[in-house]
Amino acid sequence: MDTQVLSVDGEPKQTISLDDAVFSRAVSEGSIYHAIRNELANARVGTASTKTRSQVRGSTRKPWRQKGTGRARAGRRSSPLWVGGGVVFGPQLRDYGYKLPRTMKRVALKSILSMKAQQDALRVIEDFTVETGKTRDLVKILEPISEGRRTVLIMKDEDAMVKRAARNIPWLRFLSYQRLCAHDLYYAERVILMESAAAGLAELYGNARKK
């Protein structure tokens, strides 16, 4: 798959070939579904918790005698029927995360990248950095390409200045090509790929890796 590489000014600079195994494969909707579901489950915080009647602190003394008072029988104040008592079948601490097969996750990421390419939502830009670390300088580069839409910028290396400049841009997320997020990629309206990251993805996921 051939595509143009844009300069930081938004002008076509050259043409490169993207690996068909990564950017032109058949889209597996099932793998995409499972990958996004797995990421959301792993990010879920299962800290909701209630106490059962055995965990409620307090006296275990019988509130009143069994018979002769005219009131209903009561065994202890931690009963779920009492205010301040235990909770029946309430939420407990738990981990919602689970492991997804590595092959399925790779297929999902390649499917999303291919889908974005088919939708003409994928752009390749020459490698750049923001020496000033200022948000306005990064916006000046990306806004003409992204048109202010929900955008993911895929980089090859961790660039502290680019990350610093991107922190205050609400429509931008940045990812390393080695740590892609299926959820962010799928819901992005624009995917901007640095030229070196495109080569890294081909090496990591493409046919070159199998040889």
User: Between the CA of residue 86 and those of 56, 89, 107, 130, 180, what are the distances in Å?
Assistant: 6, 10, 47, 57, 44
Tens of pLDDT, residue by residue over 11-60, are 888 888 899 999 999 999 999 999 999 999 999 999 999 999 999 999 99
Q: What angle do CA 3, 180, 131 make, to 5 degrees?
A: 75
What confidence score (pLDDT) does residue 211 get?
43
Give Cα separations from 70 to 60, 67, 142, 169 (angstroms): 21, 7, 77, 68
What letter does residue 156 receive in the DSSP assignment? S
Question: Architecture of 2-28+100-210 per CATH?
Answer: 3-Layer(aba) Sandwich (3.40)
Task: Give the closest residue to 169 by CA, choosing from 129, 198, 131, 140.
Answer: 140
List phi, psi (to 5°) of 182.
-60, -40
Percentage, residues of the chain above pLDDT 90: 71
